Structure 1
Amino acid sequence: MDEAHADLTGTGEAANGLIRAAVGPDGRLRDLYVHPQVLGATPYGPVMEACDLPEEIKKAVNAALDDLEDKIRQSTGDLLGELGADLERVTENFERAIDQIHRYRPSPKPAAVLAPVPVRGSGS
């Protein structure tokens, strides 16, 4: 894993914020929070049925992974933009140097054209 991204964390939530997840750049789940009201007794009953819990957890984790991907893409995009500008400067300097070499280098003289030498046959 890239050290520049080691501290990045993607976060996501589901069930109206009652389930929250955080993932690291290595793709591992760093934190999972499930509010006690999700399955606990409330005056109106549980917020969701137990059978719905895994799906809601997946939604929170996937949202956290999407958030992490966006953060990495954004930070990498900034880096790539800087590298592109550096490359452009290097290319311009290189082209300028090549132009100077061509300006100060004497042009090559054309090669002498040699007349064909007749070949004598060996037959008598």
Structure 2
Amino acid sequence: MAADPVSGDFTRMLDATMQALGAVSAPAAGADGEPAEPPAGEAADGQVRAELGPDGRLRSLWVEPRLMRLGSEELTEHITTAVNAAIDAMRGATTPPQAGDLSQLREQLAEVRDSAVPRLGSFLAALTEAQDRLARGGPR
């Protein structure tokens, strides 16, 4: 039996949706295909470094131990500068931070595609057959 155009369209739609979800939930990659560096910012000539996680929250903060001799006001200014630079780097990135893990949704869509689409095709074929029988004047 030939593939039904409706179920074929449905399959293509689900495949496109799964591909889009895969692109959204995949880790961001740099130009060379390697995972992109997390957004980070520096201050005090690299002596303070802030790194953000994929959710946009502060992942790590590194301060050169010698800077601990500074007064708390000056040290916190450097930290604030580094964190703000990391936020600016995140905002300037081409890929926004991920809202969450979409792998479970992707798996569910794959399951729908693999199980529901064949059933939908069978259902549509049965409807078409019933319609043909009715058009010929009743059950046969």
Q: Which has the higher contact order (CA 8 A, sep 6+)?
A: 2
Give the alignment's TM-score, normalised by structure 2: 0.41
Higher-Rg structure is: 1
Give the alignment's TM-score, normalised by structure 1: 0.45
